[in-house]
Amino acid sequence: MPRFERRQPVFETVDLSIDGLTLVIVRSKPNKKPKIKREVCTSEEAARGELARQIRKLGARGYTTVREPRRAASALLVEELLGEANPRFLEELELFSGKKLLTIADRWSADERPALRRMLVDYVLGGCDRPGHRLLVKRLLSLAETRGDDELMGCFLVAFDRMEKRWLVERREWDFDVGGLTDGKALVSSPLLASRAKGRPDDDGSVFSTRTRHFLCRRVFRYFRRLAFRKPASYARAVGPAIARFTDADVAEPSKFLDAWSLVHVLYHGSDVLTRDPRGIRVTAGREIAELELAPLKPDAWSKSFEVAFDLARDARSRPVARFATSLLAEHHDGKLKTLSFAQAKELLAAAHEETRAFFVRRLRDVPGLDRLPVGEWLALLESGSLESLPEIVRLFREHVAPRRLSLEECVTLALSPAAPVAELGLAWVKERAAKGLSALERQRLLQLVSARAPLVRAEAGEYLAQLLAQAPESKPEEVRELLDASDPAVRARGMTLVDEVPRFSKSPIVWASMAESPHPEVREKLLDELAAQARAQPAERRISGAKVTDASLAQLWATTLLAIHRGGRAKPKALLSMAQALVTEPARAESVVPLMRIALRSVRPAERRTALAAITRAAQTHEEVRAAVTKHLPELDLGAIDVEVVA
């Protein structure tokens, strides 16, 4: 957004910006606190209208636009970099201005080295409204027009159409029918582009005025219009790559679309919805932009060349151009579309704009030889397919490719795709292959499905893997651990249910040890539930036999639970109960358990703290080792009156 300053009678700077529907005005004076004023408007057009009014008001009061300071550039350095075709040439040229630019333009335009040609194209497409470069732009344009350089003239066409010229604003006007002021929308010249004053030198760092920008658009289009009448075939080949460079952002707003003089004339030359005059294109009174229909200049030039229409459809980056290209293909080249090779079909399916992709995916069935296409080509097509084309590609893939042509690894790869249609197909084929039997190695490969990127497929894969592990008697506890460590909560929940359902998993030390080391709180909480149940009743049917969990793992589990910030409230009492039982049944572990109990006394609620104190007291009454550990690690807890009853 613009910044203005005034030096007389008092130095002051004013920053203007639009934040949503709010116009923000910041006034700053030396050694004083900035004054900020905010004006909330009813619409974006109203905000731009108020911004334009403020800019004009500041200009009338003697404020001038503040330009970013630039370091001085050396003419000798610029010429040297030009002679060497050094990539730094453009960087230094940006800082340079003056009549010396005319000499640089002649040398640059005549140089045929590929590196300098690329820099010339990049310079023009980068914008022709650089401050102080008006002389260079005009000279390069004249030289390109004289030589008949269609490519560079196409770049100028895009650059001039992209230049800011008008704003769509909301303003109040007198309505004679109503007899009062009414709010309406109007296209007004950008207030940032004041007309150049007489006598101002061309190297003063200013930019093209609004009137000059309109003239440049008309001039460059005149070149292509003459080409259309003299050589229609050359016209289509020359202007096609140029209009393909426009993006949706270039025509996103009505003002930008209407100011794209050349683009509008190329696509809508014969439309009566638009009115054209030197001040710019406007919508005819009583009509709307939505009524626009394609009416190109010299339609015969477009209808005769399939290659031009195909390349335009593939490369178009804006919706108007993509619709124009697809309409050309549908109306004039339908027969050739049905004989496209698969290589050409892939180009259209990977087109730059979704409009082209959506158009061709409906015609993909007509491509010959789909039933003979190698599996690798299908997989590449699925991988590169867009959101619009994937469902149709998957349907044709299912129709023309039998599952037996894919290996199990390829089916798993499909199931891991982020695109839901592809992942669903891959999982379905995995189940079909697995129904015929799996080896241990193949079953382990299927465990990759817990990391499927499509959420619905990931949940379905978790359920399928749980059933597969439950039904396979040779499945190992290490395979269950993959479900318990999954990133998806639903898959982890199914893994914990599997542990309860299958006895060989619920009694496995490997499973419970992995749960103690899990990074997921609900998995650790399930282990705490089991330990708490043993501490309360120790029923034989729920006891975990064998070397279930190491002391280090248990200590880590308890410490993690006690120090947890999120989801720790329900698990802490269970951890306290487990530690208290450990002090009673295994007093030799007091040196590792009591420091954790000390953490518990400082990190739990009062009710839980009383539970911890009671547990420590009971253990200290029973075992001398516990009493010694408490005296060492909890000196503030007085156990002097407690008689120790050593249990034989």
Element (H, E) at 188: strand 180-189
- The Cα-based distances of 20 to 48, 70, 171 in angstroms read 11, 31, 18
DSSP per position, 68-119: PP-----HHHHHHHHHHT-THHHHHHHT--STHHHHHHHHHHH---HHHHHH
For the chain, give the mean pLDDT: 82
pLDDT at site 539:
43
Better pLDDT: 248 or 634: 248
Long-range contacts of 500-504 (CB under 8 A, 24+ apart): 501/470, 502/469, 502/470, 504/477
- The Cα-based distances of 64 to 30, 166, 194, 367, 369 in angstroms read 17, 20, 11, 62, 67
pLDDT at site 249:
93
What residue has token string 């397919």? 385
Region of 31 please: left (phi>0), alpha (psi -120 to 50) or beta: left
Element (H, E) at 167: strand 166-175
As beta bridge partners, residue 2 has none
Q: Using a pLDDT cut of 90, give the percent of the chain over it.
A: 30
As beta bridge partners, residue 19 has 22
Q: Is the dihedral of CA 233, 236, 238, 241 positive or negative?
A: negative
Which residues fall within 8 angstroms of residue 362, CB to CB, at 6 or more apart? 392
Q: Is the pLDDT of residue 645 over 50?
A: no
What is the rounded CA–CA span in Å between residue 221 and residue 215?
10
**Torsion angle, alpha carbons of 637, 638, 642, 647, to 10:** 40
> Are the C-beta atoms of 85 and 116 separated by less than 8 Å?
yes
pLDDT at site 630:
78
318-346 b/e with 16+ CB inside 10 Å = b? bbbbbbbbbbbbeebbeeebeebebebbb
Residue 177: which pLDDT band, with cuts at 50, 70 and 90?
confident
Residue 567: which pLDDT band, with cuts at 50, 70 and 90?
very low
Using N-to-C axis directions, what is the helix angle for 489-501 and 477-484, rounded to 10°?
Answer: 150
pTM for this model (two decimals): 0.70
> Are the C-beta atoms of 150 and 250 separated by less than 8 Å?
no
What is the rounded CA–CA span in Å between residue 255 and residue 166?
6
Q: Is the pLDDT of residue 540 over 60?
A: no
Averaged pLDDT for residues 66-89: 84
Of 221-235, 236-250, 328-342, the range with the lowest mean pLDDT is 328-342
pLDDT winner (highest mean) among 196-205, 467-476, 578-587:
467-476
Averaged pLDDT for residues 378-401: 78
CATH number of 3-65: 2.20.140
Domain parsing of the chain, residue ranges:
3-65, 78-164+211-291, 305-393, 547-648
pLDDT at site 348:
85
Averaged pLDDT for residues 221-248: 94
pLDDT at site 285:
86
Residue 200: which pLDDT band, with cuts at 50, 70 and 90?
very low
What does the pLDDT look like over 589-600, one tens digit per residue?
Answer: 777 677 766 666
What is the rounded CA–CA span in Å between residue 534 and residue 578?
8
Peptide bond into 9 cis (omega under 30): yes
Spell out the SS3 assignment of 349-362.
HCCCCHHHHHHHHC
Averaged pLDDT for residues 350-375: 83
Element (H, E) at 277: strand 274-277
As beta bridge partners, residue 24 has 17, 38
Of 10-24, 337-351, 556-570, the range with the lowest mean pLDDT is 556-570
Q: How many CB atoms lie within 10 A of CB 70?
A: 13
- Provide the token pair at 404: 């037996």
Q: How many CB atoms lie within 10 A of CB 460?
A: 20
Which residues fall within 8 angstroms of residue 394, CB to CB, at 6 or more apart? 382, 421, 422, 425
**Furthest-apart CA atoms within the chain: distance in Å:** 114
Averaged pLDDT for residues 464-481: 87
- Provide the token pair at 5: 């300053």
Residue 221: which pLDDT band, with cuts at 50, 70 and 90?
very high
**How is the chain split among helix, strand and coil, in percent rounded to 5?**
60, 10, 30
Of 136-145, 283-292, 507-516, the range with the lowest mean pLDDT is 507-516
Using N-to-C axis directions, what is the helix angle for 571-585 and 521-536, rounded to 10°?
Answer: 40
Averaged pLDDT for residues 606-616: 72
What is the rounded CA–CA span in Å between residue 219 and residue 144?
12
pLDDT at site 547:
40
Task: Give SS3 for 538.
Answer: coil
Q: CA end-to-end span of the chain, whole Å?
A: 85
